[in-house]
């Protein structure tokens, strides 16, 4: 009982310290990542000693990285990144070799031994998955070209670090054959799990998610359970292999990422992204605080001078190496500059490699402290380059122009512009799609029912599953660049959000549930507010007027509308039929 209370108290202190630090950072305009790491330094053994690493904090921090990779996987549609896979691999492998060489050489120059220098070189060749993805996500740049390149490189690095950790976990190898065997086993396992994830996304998951996607709670729980299934398989891979006499190691981050990739291929992935984000932020916050809880002050600062020198050399060296390799693959100067600038830090996996190396007897705990301090320093500095990256590029663009190739890599990406967006597929919007299609070449419909999405896609419309209240969905349909927006949602907040995010020249028609809501929407710039009751009453008046003035004309109109309702087609060409005698 005492232990449980202590664990709860540790977690409470971590959350409280992180919340206070995050609040102060937001108020002062500083990056929250730095605030979380500093919070860990203050409450950890280095300063106050209030909290130490426990099984609970380790588990939660591991889940933080796992959920971060799961969220990343959800955004990785293979069709959207297939065209840049070859450049990513061509950049990643030489980059890791070059940075490892710089790290090893710098360590030797600083007086470390050969074995220690090699381990340091292998530990610093990765960039920080937690920092890069968190910052790209916060800035909305994960789907930019430089964002995709950085994310792709990080994934290749993650595969390599999984292999390296598997080798280090086995201790000092008895022979090169033992190393080769370990590498082969890990590569085969990664391949098997990847194939299983992609096969499930094609044959199993569509049927499951089609049945549950309309229920937000069940949809979310099943998606999270899917992630935990892959986390469990990756974490407990030995359970499956030990009967065959095989020992292997896989990171739960790799499993979580592949689980996300499987879901990303489904039409429901956009809806899930915003729901996973808050949970991911919580776990990542705990991870960042926990980074500073692992060492005593004496271990962390044992090589502090060497760590400062190494951090400076590595940040400069990484930028130059990335810039050279990305330029080699003929990307434009902005993509090259930002893609290089964002990857200058040493990864949290460098610390993990240090832990594994110390446990395997390769290095002492002082080297682990050195790697931790280098990672903290480079992470801290790099976060500010994310904030200043665009401004730096604008300042340096004239100098960078000389490095750009005559023919640069171009990304084929569909961007909506001057198009129509329809929110909701119901009786209000269904019969207007044909009319809008004749006026707009690009028409997007957003709806939250899977049967509606299927019906729309079968009719040839571009349909997006999700709630327009989600920022991800609004960005995906290009709401800010739309020329026409029609919403059949009578939720006042949805109407306000649509009006707030559309341009001044956009025609916006929304629906209201009451006269008060309608007035509020008109005040915010709506071109027209649908009030079904008033429309029905007005149309009924037209019918009664026609009945009294010309009963024959009234009968013809009613007959035509009854015939229209009998049509099996869900998309009748109403724009050719509504111009009836009542409108003369």
pLDDT tens string, the chain, 584 residues long: the values are: 445 555 567 778 888 888 888 888 777 766 677 788 788 888 887 778 787 777 777 777 777 777 777 877 787 777 766 767 788 888 999 999 999 999 999 999 999 989 889 989 988 998 987 788 878 877 777 767 888 888 888 878 877 776 676 566 555 555 666 667 767 777 787 788 888 888 888 888 888 887 877 777 888 888 888 888 888 888 777 777 777 666 666 777 778 888 888 888 887 777 677 777 777 777 777 777 776 676 666 777 788 899 999 999 999 999 999 999 998 888 888 888 999 999 999 987 787 777 767 766 778 778 888 888 898 889 888 888 888 888 888 888 888 877 776 666 655 555 566 788 988 888 777 777 878 888 888 888 888 777 788 888 888 888 887 777 776 678 778 888 888 888 888 888 888 888 888 888 888 888 888 888 888 888 888 888 887 666 555 555 666 666 567 777 666 766 766 565 555 554 455 444 444 444 55
Nearest to residue 94, comparing CAs of 324, 409, 254, 319? 324
State residue 578's pLDDT score.
45
Q: How far is CA 131 from CA 33, 65, 370, in A?
A: 7, 10, 19
CA distances from 182 to 177, 241, 302 (A): 9, 13, 34
CB-hemisphere CA count at 13 Å for 100?
16
Do 362 and 474 have their domain in common?
no
Q: Which residues pair with 465 in a beta bridge?
A: 447
Query: Residues near 57 by Cβ (< 8 Å), separated by ≥ 6?
Result: 10, 11, 14, 51, 286, 290, 293
Residues paired with residue 423 on neighbouring β-strands, in sequence order: 446, 487
Helix (H) or strand (E) holding 487: strand 484-487
Question: Is residue 362 a part of any domain in this protein?
Answer: yes
Distance between CA atoms of 553 and 574, rounded to whole angstroms? 19
pLDDT of residue 465: 79
Considering the domain boundaries, does residue 232 fall inside one? yes
**Cα gap 433→444, rounded to integer Å:** 10
Contact between 323 and 134 under an 8 Å Cβ cutoff? The reply is no
Q: What is the pLDDT of residue 318?
A: 94
Residue 414 lies in a domain: no
Does 111 lie in the same domain as 55?
A: yes
Q: Classify residue 488: in a domain, yes or no.
A: yes
Q: What is the DSSP string of 416-430?
A: --S-EEEE--SHHHH
111 domain-assigned = yes
Alpha carbons 25 and 34: distance in angstroms, whole number: 8
User: For position 577, what pLDDT does the model report?
Assistant: 47
Rounded distance between C-alpha atoms, residue 534 and residue 519, angstroms: 14
My answer on whether 356 and 478 are in the same domain is no
- Last residue of one domain, picked from the residues 336, 368, 403: 403
415 lies in some domain = no
Do residues 120 and 223 share a domain? Answer: yes
Q: Which backbone phi and psi does 297 adopt, to 5 degrees?
A: -60, -40
Closest residue by Cα to residue 147 from 76, 208, 218, 195: 76
Tell whether 353 and 282 lie within a shared domain: yes
Angle subtended at Cα 161 by Cα 155 and Cα 164, rounded to the nearest 5 degrees: 150
- Asked whether the CA dihedral 386, 388, 394, 397 is positive or negative, the reply is negative
- What is the reported pLDDT for 170? 52
Residues 397 and 442 in one domain: no
The residue range of the domain holding 494 is 420-583
CATH number at residue 67: 1.20.1530.20
pLDDT of residue 536: 59
Rounded-to-integer distance, Cα 577 and Cα 574, Å: 5
Both 320 and 454 in a single domain? no
CB 421 within 8 A of CB 477: yes
pLDDT, residue 1, reads: 46
Nearest to 454 by CA among 206, 248, 258, 251: 206
Residues 335 and 460 in one domain: no
Q: What is the CATH number of the domain that holds 484?
A: 3.40.50.720
* pLDDT given at position 133: 80
Closest CA to 81 of 128, 141, 151, 139: 151
Question: Of 499, 509, 465, 493, nearest to 479 (Cα)?
Answer: 499
- Total length of the chain: 584
Q: How far apart are CA 572 and CA 564, in angstroms?
A: 8
Domains held by the chain: number: 2
Same domain assignment for residues 393 and 507: no
Claim to verify: residue 434 and residue 295 sit in the same structural domain: no
The two three-digit tokens of residue 28, written as one number: 């002062």
- The confidence score (pLDDT) of residue 103 equals 94
DSSP state for residue 140 in the 8-state scheme: T
Measured CA to CA, the distance from residue 188 to residue 179 in angstroms comes to 14
281, part of any domain: yes
Classify residue 410: in a domain, yes or no.
no
Domain identity same for 389 and 454: no
Residue where a domain stops, chosen among 361, 377, 403 = 403
What per-residue confidence (pLDDT) applies to 574?
Answer: 45
Boundary residue ending a domain (403, 438, 455): 403
Non-local CB neighbours of 244 within 8 Å, separated by 6+ positions: none
CA distances in angstroms from 434 to 232, 454, 456, 524, listed in the order given:
49, 17, 12, 28
Q: Are residue 361 and residue 432 in the same domain, yes or no?
A: no
In our burial notation (b when 16+ CB lie closer than 10 A, e otherwise), range 8-22 reads eebbebbeebbeebb
- Per-residue confidence (pLDDT) for residue 21, from 0 to 100: 86
pTM of the model: 0.61
Q: Which alpha helices (DSSP H) does 140-215 contain, by range?
A: 145-169, 176-203, 205-212
Beta-carbon contacts of 56 under 8 Å, excluding residues fewer than 6 positions away, are 7, 10, 11
Instruction: Note whether 314 and 375 are within 8 A (CB).
Output: no
Instruction: Give the whole-angstrom CA distance, residue 73 versus residue 81.
Output: 12
């Amino acid at each position: 009982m005492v232990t449980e209370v202590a664990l709860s108290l540790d977690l409470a202190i971590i959350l409280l310290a992180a919340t206070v630090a995050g609040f102060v950072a937001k108020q002062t305009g500083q990056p929250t990542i730095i605030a979380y790491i500093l919070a860990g330094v203050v409450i950890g053994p280095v300063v106050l000693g209030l909290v130490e690493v426990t099984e609970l904090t380790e588990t939660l921090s591991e889940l933080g990285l796992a959920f971060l990779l799961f969220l990343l996987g959800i955004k990785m549609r293979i069709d959207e990144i297939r065209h840049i896979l070859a450049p990513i691999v061509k950049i990643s492998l030489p980059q890791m070799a070059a940075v490892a060489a710089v790290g090893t050489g710098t360590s030797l120059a600083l007086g470390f031994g050969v074995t220690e220098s090699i381990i340091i070189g292998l530990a610093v060749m990765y960039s920080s998955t937690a920092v890069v993805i968190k910052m790209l996500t916060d800035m909305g740049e994960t789907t930019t070209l430089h964002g995709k390149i950085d994310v792709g490189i990080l994934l290749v690095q993650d595969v390599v670090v999984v292999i390296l950790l598997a080798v280090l976990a086995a201790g000092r190898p008895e022979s090169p054959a033992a190393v080769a065997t370990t590498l082969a086993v890990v590569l085969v396992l990664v391949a098997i799990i990847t194939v299983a994830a992609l096969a499930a996304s094609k044959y199993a998951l569509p049927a499951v998610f089609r049945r549950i996607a309309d229920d937000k709670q069940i949809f979310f729980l099943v998606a999270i359970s899917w992630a935990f299934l892959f986390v469990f398989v990756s974490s407990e891979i030995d359970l499956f292999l030990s009967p065959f006499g095989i020992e292997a190691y896989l990171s739960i981050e790799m499993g979580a990422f592949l689980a996300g990739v499987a879901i990303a291929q489904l039409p429901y992935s956009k809806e899930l992204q915003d729901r996973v984000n808050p949970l991911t932020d919580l776990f990542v916050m705990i991870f960042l605080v926990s980074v500073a809880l692992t060492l005593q002050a004496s271990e962390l600062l044992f090589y502090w001078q060497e760590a400062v020198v190494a951090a400076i050399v590595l940040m400069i060296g990484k930028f130059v190496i990335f810039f050279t390799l990305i330029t080699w693959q003929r990307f434009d100067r902005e993509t090259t500059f930002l893609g290089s600038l964002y990857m200058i830090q040493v990864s949290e996996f460098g610390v993990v490699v240090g832990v594994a190396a110390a446990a395997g007897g390769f290095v002492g705990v002082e080297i682990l402290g050195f790697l931790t301090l280098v990672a903290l320093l480079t992470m801290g500095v790099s976060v500010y380059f994310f904030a200043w990256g665009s401004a730096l590029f604008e300042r340096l663009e004239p100098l960078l122009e000389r490095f750009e190739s005559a023919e640069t890599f171009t990304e084929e990406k569909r961007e909506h512009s001057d198009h129509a967006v329809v929110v909701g597929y119901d009786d209000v919007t269904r019969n207007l799609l044909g009319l809008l299609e004749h006026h707009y070449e690009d028409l997007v419909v957003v709806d939250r029912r899977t049967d509606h999405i299927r019906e729309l896609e079968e009719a040839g419309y571009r349909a997006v599953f999700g709630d327009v209240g989600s920022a991800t969905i609004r960005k995906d349909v290009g709401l800010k660049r739309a020329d026409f927006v029609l919403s059949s949602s009578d939720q006042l907040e949805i109407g306000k959000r649509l009006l707030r995010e559309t341009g001044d020249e956009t025609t916006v028609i929304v629906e209201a549930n009451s006269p008060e809501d309608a007035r509020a929407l008109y005040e915010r710039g709506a071109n027209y507010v649908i009030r079904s009751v008033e429309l029905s009453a007005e149309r009924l008046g037209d019918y009664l007027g026609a009945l009294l003035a010309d009963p024959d004309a009234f009968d013809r109109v009613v007959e035509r509308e009854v015939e229209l309702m009998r049509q099996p087609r869900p998309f009748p060409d109403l724009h050719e039929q509504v111009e009836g005698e009542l409108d003369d």
